[in-house]
Amino acid sequence: MDKSKLFKFGLVIRLLLIIFCVPHIQKIWFLEFINNSLENLSFNPWQAHLNAGGDIKAFPYGYIMYLFYLPLTTLGWLFDKLLNLEYFSRFGFAITTLIFDYGILLGIIRLLKNYSSKLILIAYWCSPVIFYIFYWHGQIDALPVFFLIYGLSLLQKEKTNLAGIFLGLAISSKFSMLAAIPFIFIYLIRNKRLKNKGWRYQEDKTGSMMLKIYKDCEIDFLDQKRFPTKEKGKHNNIFNVPLPAGTTSEKYMNALDRVLDKLVEFKPEFLILSMGFDANIADPLAQFELKSEDFYEITKRTLKATNEFTNGKVVSVLEGGYDLNALADSAFNHVNALVENN
């Protein structure tokens, strides 16, 4: 079964359960709580629910869970009032769960991008366990899990501030999400990239000359064995230029000009370009801010500076690039510049 059919299968099962199944805990607890809060408007919906004679165990969550489930449930409640039914508020509540359930699927695919999306569809989207928990039993853990998954995804991309917000929302939605905190701390401690957050280098190999683009500044905390900023090589054939995360196209091009000056001085007989397209702003790893068209300019400048010595002898090798769309666009621009040079 292909991915499209797997997704449709999982979606159809969910919709059938939403239409024909009324989870007991949703009916007697969650929906009753929200309905009572709408009937007796208050900044404290829990007190309004208790004043209406509701069960004290009905909605053991905080404002985050309540506010995210409120809009569609309220819309359904209004339809029920208008048509004198008791259906649409339940439907609005269940559709909210479905939205976050789908968000979890997308988040898992982003978080586990090295795994087959078909496998994820089978393991999560078509899982009987998920059908039972969310749509038969009626639990509403989809919301905190959604925030947790996207918090981890943002942490993976080293967007720590946003990750903190999403993880905070996950814990505020349901305190059981605190169970993830020890594992997150272990990840942070073991992640060397986050320890030295923001520092990255881009390599270009030219003949027997190694050129590394860093940033032109003092970097005391860098491991000098891995990032030998003062290394020149036995034949003056190594040139390092450090660059930090967040480097813009303009700053990168300025660094490239310095590298090309050194390259012209070296007079290479041919070029081997180690093209790292993970410097694209859309890439989840490098934290640079180059646009896809910048790779055309980088290639054009490099070839123009060296054609006199290489006579067009160039080998280009693919290195990094972990966002497929950004990789395709960047490589397209790079190859265009190579073709135009011939």
With a pLDDT cut of 90, the percent of the chain lying above it is: 46
Higher confidence at residue 202 or residue 60? 60
Task: Work out the average pLDDT over 35-46.
Answer: 90
For residue 219, pLDDT beyond 50? no
The pTM score is: 0.58
Question: Do residues 120 and 6 touch, judged by C-beta distance below 8 A?
Answer: no
Confirm or reject CATH 3.90.1300.10 for domain 199-341, answering yes or no.
Answer: no
Res 38: pLDDT? 92
For residue 203, pLDDT beyond 60? no
C-alpha to C-alpha distance for 278 and 286, rounded to whole angstroms: 6
CB-count exposure of residue 19 (10 Å: 0-12, 13-18, 19+):
exposed
* CB neighbour list of residue 113: distance below 8 Å, 6 or more residues apart: 322
For residue 142, pLDDT beyond 80? yes
Strand pairing of 238-244 and 199-200?
antiparallel
C-alpha to C-alpha distance for 307 and 294, rounded to whole angstroms: 20
Higher confidence at residue 230 or residue 141? 141
For residue 300, pLDDT beyond 80? yes
Of the chain, the end-to-end C-alpha distance in Å amounts to: 46
With a pLDDT cut of 70, the percent of the chain lying above it is: 87
Q: How many CA atoms lie within 13 A of 48 on its CB side?
A: 14
Distances (CA, A) of 148 to 59, 114, 169: 21, 19, 8
* CB neighbour list of residue 150: distance below 8 Å, 6 or more residues apart: 103, 107, 166
Res 259: pLDDT? 87
From the list 219, 188, 184, the residue with the least C-alpha distance to 201 is 219
From the list 326, 241, 242, 325, the residue with the least C-alpha distance to 279 is 326
**In the 8-state DSSP scheme, what is residue 280?**
B
For residue 195, pLDDT beyond 70? no
For residue 133, pLDDT beyond 50? yes
Task: Work out the average pLDDT over 145-157.
Answer: 92
Q: Where in the chain is the domain with CATH 3.40.800.20?
A: 199-341
Task: Work out the average pLDDT over 111-125.
Answer: 90
Res 121: pLDDT? 94
Taking only the tens place, the pLDDT of each residue in 220-270 is 333 444 444 566 767 677 877 878 888 889 989 988 888 888 888 888 888
Res 193: pLDDT? 58
Taking only the tens place, the pLDDT of each residue in 75-117 is 999 999 999 988 899 999 999 999 999 999 999 998 888 788 9
Res 93: pLDDT? 96
Task: Work out the average pLDDT over 294-309.
Answer: 92
Confidence at 201, pLDDT banded by 50, 70, 90: very low
Res 194: pLDDT? 59
Higher confidence at residue 235 or residue 151? 151
Taking only the tens place, the pLDDT of each residue in 272-294 is 888 888 889 998 877 788 999 99
Higher confidence at residue 187 or residue 248? 248
Higher confidence at residue 118 or residue 210? 118
Higher confidence at residue 240 or residue 28? 28
Task: Work out the average pLDDT over 61-65.
Answer: 92
From the list 93, 91, 41, the residue with the least C-alpha distance to 65 is 93
